[in-house]
Chain A
Amino acid sequence: MPPATTSRRRLLRWVGATAAAGVAGCTGDSGGSNGAELVATLAADVKNYDPARANDTTSRKAFGLVYEPLLAIDFEGQARPALATAVERQDELTWRLSLREGVTFHDGSEFSASDVVATFERYEGTPRESDVYLWYDDATIVDDHTLDVTLTDRYAPFRVSLGGVPIVPEAAAAGDLDLSTTPVGTGPYAFDTHEPDQLFRLTRADDHWYDGAGEVPDEPPIETLTFRIIVEGPSQVAALRAGDVDLANNPPADAIADLRDDDAITVTDRLAGGFEMVVFPLASAPFSNREVRKGIARLIPREEIISSVYGGIGRPAYAPISPLLDDYSSESFQAEMRDEHQGYDPERARELLASGFETLDVSPPYETTIVTNETPERVRWAQLVRDELDRTDFFDVSLDQFEWNTYVSRVLAGDSNQSDSMMALGWTGGWDPDTYLRNLFHGDQATPSCCNAAHYANDEVDRLLDEALATYDTAERRALYEDAQRRIVADVPAAFIRFNRRLEAVRSAAVEGFRTYPIDAGEFTAIYAPWADTYTATGGG
């Protein structure tokens, strides 16, 4: 039963007959033959409906079912046809895209090749420009449903990148349609309402292109998808347990044990594409010394962090590519990096620190700070790292907490490599190994260009990353990335800490078949995803 009805019943008990009229009226509103509603939580408000401008994960979560890409990336990271039925390489730099026919946008306009070109080109000069202009050079429309895209260079993750570009109507590029007030896509759900700080609601789109085949019904079984904005973690959990919401997105780790004990709730967890790390300012002594950095990396109590901060959820990280990409990140490779370079070993750490400080003009204990933002888990692991460092005679560490924007500006400032602070950072990557390495460790990406806060520069690493990006053969790419990772881990511009796992909790009786998409910001896309043979229905709760 839809939760709105449940609340109404309870409300009736509470206010008695006075509410009866209102209840009757509301029930009539949400009727219909297939009128199920799914209510999920979001921990922050939706800021922007325009995919070319939305930089926050919450907005992208919320509109993930409104827009569709040309290719969708399934649960295993494979590209599957969505708005394109085929994407084939013509020559070194040209790809031919065949588009699905008979697709309409939510405003009734027909989807064609000109929408795709307009979508690509409107990224120029926007906050998400690099989503497209890292590879896009030009496009030629062959006919209404075929186009050729020319790349600036050979680009291996092209198909995966198409999965990250939601297609919008040409009218949006021409300025006739304002996506920031009216999101219009081709997805299975259309925008309905946004009440700031309260809810974001989608309703089933009438004319979605999927006609049904195999297991997936021809239209989403859920008619209304409501995201309730609940900032406080305990309030989210209470709303789920009370039945006011059906699904809590990323509930706090310390509530998980209780939720798992609740028979009415099912908790799922998933490997997410991201990791936590400490980044060193390489231009500043003592962090300029590799042995010192190695010593610090060997003092990070990864297992303890995972058990005490994250309630046992997640796994230790010793190299940067997430295990989500099993083609590129094996357990044996992680174990090798652990044993050779970054595994917890206080005794070895002290030897390394002693040897490093000997060659430096810095007398211990060196006073330094770890910069973090306000994320409670990040602050807590930074405290554990501080305690380990303080236990040696080499450091006297304090913590500097900043509000998110100030923190970002501080760690991504052009001179962050010259500061005397270590930086506690998190990084989210996607389905391609390049997303875990380039922005953080390529010489061209030093801040303020992007996110290489250490200003790590190694010509051989840069060459390997560039070559891997232009290599289409997976085995060759794997070898190149393994080589690059070996060099990065040995140089220790950063100490890796934890590969993230994220959680979802659902009311078992109310939600059937919900499957979380692994990449952050895309969690809800699988609520109706014919390209992945997945959909969600509501049960009897």
Chain B
Amino acid sequence: MSLRRYVLRRVLLTVPILIGVSVLTFGLVKLLPGTPVDYVLQFQESTPDLRASLRAQYHLDEPLPTQYALWLWDVLHLDFGERVVSDRSVRAAVAARLPATLALGTAALVVALLVGVPAGVLAAVNRGGPADEISRVVALAGIATPNFWLGLLLILVFGVHLNLVPVIPPVAPLLAPESLAFLALPALTLGTASAALFTRLTRSAVGEELRRDYVRTARAKGLPERTVLVKHVLRNSLISVVTVAALQVAVLLDGAVVIERVFSWPGLGRLLVRAILQRDFPVVQAVVLLVAVAVVVANLLADVLYAYLDPRIRYRS
């Protein structure tokens, strides 16, 4: 199967997944108690006319499938409607927060890879040695530590006691040096668990590759160990790391909900939490859908990348 056909097939396969995701997103929000009308009116008494017009505005008089179809149609046009708590558009609210969350997620992923991959390689090369043991213990601790607790701990140590970094975000554009420097702690907090995962994954992948015949051949040919490791072993090992990196998008977005509150970082996570407490249904739907789509797309990318790096995948599937 050519790569192009494989990609097309995978893209088509995501369509039913995306439809399922949209149905779930729409349906779950419908299960929450109360209707947008109650929340818009803040449970105040109101005229039947006002209630009726609000019901019409949210299409609540239509049968559920029609409501879903109307909502999906708008969503496909990137129209997520108006917020319940104000008359501002959901799209504007989401667009305003998205860059902050992307910046945090990217920084966390960079931290995770920069820490996890070298640590994994080191552990694999020194299998059974002290470096391997230390990385194992650190990785286990990283996976087991709750984000919330770690975030507060880092704030206390680096912000309050050592006084090295500000505790709340600087008032500056997202890409200003102050903002990027501030991102260090939240990215470290958010990236820790992923870094631990990458360490363990890289260690086992590199370990496995090191035992293969081609490595023995390369070494026998007299290639320097460094070349063997970087050009051959690492390249082959990274296939699984790339896949897991894509899957970490979901973990990072999940974690952002907690981390953004601890670090007062104005991203999608904080918007989502507040929208849930306020029963701002359209915002909840938009953010949940966006996250779900991001995860599906990340999976797709992982599959494609995997097939590109290892052609056996596309032939097998």
Contacts and interface: CB of A to CB of B under 8 A. Distances in A.
Interface string A220-251: 00000010111110110011011111000000
Given A235-B264, A403-B279, A448 B160 contact: no
Nearest to B171: A199
Interface stretch (B13-21, B39-47, B227-235): B39-47
Contacts of B262: 232, 235
Given A199-B171, A403-B277, A405-B278, A10 B165 contact: yes
B168 interface: yes
Contacts of B270: 197, 231
Interface string A395-419: 0000000011110110011000000
B38 A242 contact: no
A199 B263 CA distance: 14
Contacts of A409: 34, 38, 43
Contacts of B266: 195-198
A164 B206 CA distance: 70
B271 interface: yes
A196 B96 contact: yes
B168 A243 contact: no
Interface in B38-61: 38-39, 42-45
Interface residues of A, number: 45
A198 B165 contact: no
B155 interface: yes
Given A196-B266, A197-B271, A406 B168 contact: no
Contacts of B169: 198
Contacts of A405: 34, 39, 42-43, 278-279
A15 B39 CA distance: 46
Interface stretch (B172-180, B188-196, B295-303): B172-180
A8 B166 CA distance: 8
Contact of A229 (B45, B164, B264): B264
B264 A11 contact: no
A231 B261 contact: yes
B181 A406 contact: no
A28 B38 CA distance: 49
A238 B177 contact: no
Given A242-B159, A405-B278, A234 B166 contact: no
Contact of A241 (B43, B86, B160, B171): B160
Contacts of A26: 172
Nearest to B44: A127
A245 B261 CA distance: 17
Contacts of B167: 235, 238-239, 242, 244
Given A232-B261, A232-B262, A15 B181 contact: yes
Contact of A22 (B152, B155, B156, B177): B177
A172 B303 CA distance: 58
A387 to B, nearest CB: 28
Nearest to A3: B166
A448 B166 contact: no
A19 B163 CA distance: 17
Interface string B241-273: 000000000000000000001111010001100
A291 B159 CA distance: 56
A363 interface: no
Contact of A238 (B42, B85, B156, B261): B156
Contact of B172 (A14, A22, A226, A229): A22
A14 B34 CA distance: 49
Contacts of B274: 45, 197
Nearest to B181: A15
A7 interface: yes
A260 interface: no
Interface in A6-44: 7-8, 10-11, 13-15, 18-19, 22, 26
Nearest to B158: A14
B170 A7 contact: yes
B257 to A, nearest CB: 12
Contacts of B184: 14
Contact of A235 (B96, B163, B177, B263): B263
B128 interface: no
B155 A10 contact: no
Nearest to A198: B266
B222 interface: no
A194 interface: no
A322 B96 CA distance: 44
Contacts of A4: 171
A47 interface: yes
Q: Quick one: which of B39, B96, B168, B271 has the most chain A CB within 10 A?
A: B168
B264 A228 contact: yes
B65 interface: no
B130 interface: no
A213 to B, nearest CB: 36
A10 B163 contact: yes
A244 B168 contact: yes
A14 B158 CA distance: 10
A13 B33 CA distance: 51
A197 B264 CA distance: 8
B98 to A, nearest CB: 13
A234 B148 CA distance: 11
A404 B181 CA distance: 36
Nearest to A237: B160
A22 B164 contact: no
B263 A238 contact: no
A386 to B, nearest CB: 23
A19 B165 CA distance: 13
Contact of B164 (A10, A45, A127, A403): A10
A22 B176 contact: yes
Given A226-B171, A242-B159, 15 more contacts: A18-B177, A22-B176, A127-B44, A195-B266, A196-B96, A198-B169, A198-B264, A231-B270, A235-B261, A235-B263, A242-B160, A242-B166, A244-B166, A244-B167, A405-B278
Interface of A: 4, 7-8, 10-11, 13-15, 18-19, 22, 26, 45, 47, 55, 127, 195-199, 226, 228-232, 234-235, 238-239, 241-245, 403-406, 408-409, 412-413, 448
21 contacts: A10-B164, A10-B165, A11-B170, A11-B181, A22-B172, A22-B177, A197-B271, A197-B274, A198-B264, A238-B155, A242-B160, A242-B163, A243-B163, A244-B159, A244-B167, A244-B168, A405-B42, A405-B43, A406-B33, A406-B34, A448-B45
What are the nearest 4 A-B pairs in CB distance?
A: A409-B43, A15-B181, A197-B266, A7-B166
